[in-house]
Structure 1
């Protein structure tokens, strides 16, 4: 018999037991649909985190350069006491690798240079670097709409068209130049100054649907309309006339007052007369940055021209930053943000930064580990779905065994007229393959329907206020093809025993079988 004859015979045999075949196929459908649904959820999670969230933040072309104060804080966070840090050398003497008396070096070796403006400019001249900017953040009091808050302030360059935070504006534009008295604010700024009421705030967080309510409760058009209302309005920064000092100390190290980063009441700073007032006009409003934030100071709510932010930073240093500077004996920047022209330049640029005497970090260096984690997650989800398909394989074996009992006489006749054991086995393997193919194909379709339904319900009822539609499930072509092939493979494995049993049927006894 040729392959066409075998397939035709297998189809005829399956059609003669329609109910049993249908129930067996349904078992495969359930197993394949479970695999597709669970694995597609894992792939969707991976796509949302790596393909969308991180890509929007441009982390694949971003390098963070650490100054000495940042490394000091890392050492302190690892459990080293203040006295240990003070006694340690800024650059440990190198020791031969084969020296038996050598001691392990610091986990976070200190930069050999100060991360100042000159160093940032030098980093920016490295081949493959698009731009390099110091991370300038501080907190200060500001007055807006008759209320005073203490907020995070950041600095950004003027005229840099591809600066990530300035790519999307709800209203307005970026500031005109480094010397302009203009500022860009975020949606969190609007929410912080929303009208206060018993139903609008809880634990200092605005809520409700009133003016300037948090962005998730409003549509895109409403957010843009609210943002347009503040364009051109003025906000006042209250900058102390001299650098803040304090007699408080940690590990014997002078510290400034550890006041909260943001106050949620309408109180004004003590001795307001000792503050200079700097008026800035709101030029633009940008959307919330989202849940992923790599800035150790938190997301700035107000962004000023870089040069003005640098000037004001000297009078409003973050307590953590001051601690790092005191420990390191270094008044340079804690961090610098470096952008490369494309992800392939990450490694070469990081090597050059290290040669300049700084430590560098990029999320791309951790991508292998991140992908390994997602591989484990997807494999675990697929294994759970595979259990259902394994159960279905017992149904396939049962169907084949029952088929042998019903077709014993037919098998005997086939052998009597010259049918070989191999041809008998091929018939059963083709029947199993057809069951796997039908169940796998229908299972992929069922999984797709379940994914679409679940995704629609999730976007409607769970994240209905998100700024854009979220795809929780992802079914790439290789998942569909792999699921169908896996179903066929499991079906063939399940048919091995029935096929071998059919091949061993004695034709003489089979012809006598009733």
Structure 2
């Protein structure tokens, strides 16, 4: 018999006993949909983790700190402490896979814009790195190499401004209304004196040892798009300009302030941000930075632990669904065994007429496979309906906890794997009954009633 004849015969045998076939297929439908829906919950959880981390920052970034770390063989009091300086930046830049290295130095300053004043952190940056590190402007432009007195503001920095001349200011970080300040149109003044422009208390005198604060004329050239991370609350200016401001400010400090500052080394950076070309290289680059003696942290550290949690959840949920499919496999085996008992005489006639044993085996395996494939296909359709319901109805109850992807995600790879798996389960379930049909004696089969 050719394959077409076998297919027609198998389909006819299944349709001959519609009720039993439908009930067996129903078991496969429930088992397949259980596995797919359970795994879809774990996959959606994995997507949600990545989405949450992406809001915190880029997964391609590594933050480098020293925090008192020492190189190999070096210890406090017995060796030289590592410096996060230009030499360290150049060394990190040479690591394969690194796209950009951004040293960071920050000063807390006061900026005056018309009648409004605000205290905010200003971070020094190399202008050519802003595009590399995905800085995007909402208004104005990014810094250029020629900008020595220009500032780019984060989206939320305007909230730090208020009018110190008002008796009861309604603005500022604690005010009920957003401050009305134009950081691009106004002429700006920057100073490291955080009380500049404030009303002086009656009778208060200036410390004679303290020199008047130096004022710097600066201009706002851009406001960044909202990023929901630290960029929103920082202002950025050319690194060389900020270093100059810090040095001049320290020269005007009183003796007491200089003693409090101690032996801080101004050639060091507070931290360094490293951009890696490929997310798959982040872990390798991070390990090389740690081998240099520095502390390195990236969001992939959190992602790794989240993925482990997601895999465990998928294993548990998939195992629960697999129980249903295992029960369905037993149902397929039972159906095929009952079919052999009912068709014993038919099998004997086929053998007497010269049917090959392989044809008989193919016939029963084909019937079992068709049950698995049909049940898997219907199970997939049911899975998509359940997933749609979970995302539409369940997502509302959870308040969007599943993220933009929903609480259930069924990728095409999962669908294809589930269909292939259910078909394979059907074929495996029919293997033992097929062997039994092959081993039947022709004469005994014909004599059976």
TM over 0.5, yes or no?
yes
Aligned to 2:224: 286
Aligned to 2:7: 7
Q: CA deviation at 1:336?
A: 0.8
Aligned to 2:167: none
1:90 is aligned to 2:76: yes
After the TM superposition, which residues 400-415 of structure 1 pair with which residues of structure 2 at under 5 Å, given as runs?
400-415=336-351
**SS of equivalent to 1:164:** coil
Distance 1:268 1:440 in 2: 77
CA contact (8 A) 2:39 2:317 kept: yes
Residues 511 and 131 of structure 1: CA distance in aligned 2, closer, same or farther (over 3 Å): closer
Aligned to 1:43: 43
After the TM superposition, which residues 465-504 of structure 1 pair with which residues of structure 2 at under 5 Å, given as runs?
469-470=404-405, 474-503=409-438
* Alignment equivalent of 2:275, drawn from 332, 335, 339: 339
Distance 1:269 1:42 in 2: 61
CA contact (8 A) 1:142 1:149 kept: yes
Aligned to 1:198: none
Task: Let me know the Cα RMSD of the aligned residues.
Answer: 5.1
Aligned to 2:165: none
1:302 is aligned to 2:237: no
Distance 1:501 1:391 in 2: 21
Aligned to 2:166: none
Q: Unmatched 5+ residue regions in structure 2?
A: 163-172, 251-259
1:232 is aligned to 2:231: no
* Alignment equivalent of 2:82, drawn from 113, 118, 141: 113
Q: State the structure with more CA Rg.
A: 2
1:173 is aligned to 2:173: no
Distance 2:21 2:48 in 1: 40
CA contact (8 A) 2:189 2:217 kept: yes
CA contact (8 A) 1:140 1:150 kept: yes
Residues 182 and 364 of structure 1: CA distance in aligned 2, closer, same or farther (over 3 Å): closer
Q: CA deviation at 1:401?
A: 3.1
Aligned to 1:103: none
Aligned to 1:431: 367
Q: CA deviation at 1:432?
A: 0.7
Distance 2:365 2:400 in 1: 49
Q: Output the TM-score relative to the length of structure 1.
A: 0.61
Deviations 1:370-399 (A, max 9, x none): 766554444333323222212222322232
**SS of equivalent to 2:227:** coil
* Alignment equivalent of 1:447, drawn from 364, 371, 383: 383
Residues 444 and 205 of structure 1: CA distance in aligned 2, closer, same or farther (over 3 Å): farther
Q: CA deviation at 1:134?
A: 1.9
Q: CA deviation at 1:310?
A: 5.0
Deviations 1:435-493 (A, max 9, x none): 11122233334333444554455777766799x95465554443222212211221123
Q: CA deviation at 1:32?
A: 1.9
Distance 2:189 2:397 in 1: 41
Residues 353 and 388 of structure 1: CA distance in aligned 2, closer, same or farther (over 3 Å): closer
**SS of equivalent to 1:166:** coil
Aligned to 1:106: none
CA contact (8 A) 1:152 1:300 kept: no
Aligned to 1:85: none
Residues 34 and 235 of structure 1: CA distance in aligned 2, closer, same or farther (over 3 Å): farther
Aligned to 2:126: 157
Distance 1:241 1:147 in 2: 13
Q: Output the TM-score relative to the length of structure 2.
A: 0.69
Residues 378 and 2 of structure 1: CA distance in aligned 2, closer, same or farther (over 3 Å): same
Distance 2:333 2:200 in 1: 79
Aligned residues: 414
Distance 1:272 1:434 in 2: 94
After the TM superposition, which residues 18-57 of structure 1 pair with which residues of structure 2 at under 5 Å, given as runs?
18-47=18-47, 49-50=49-50, 54=54, 57=57
Distance 2:77 2:406 in 1: 49
Deviations 1:17-40 (A, max 9, x none): 223222322322232223223333
CA contact (8 A) 2:109 2:194 kept: no
**SS of equivalent to 1:90:** coil
CA contact (8 A) 1:148 1:268 kept: no
Q: CA deviation at 1:305?
A: 0.6
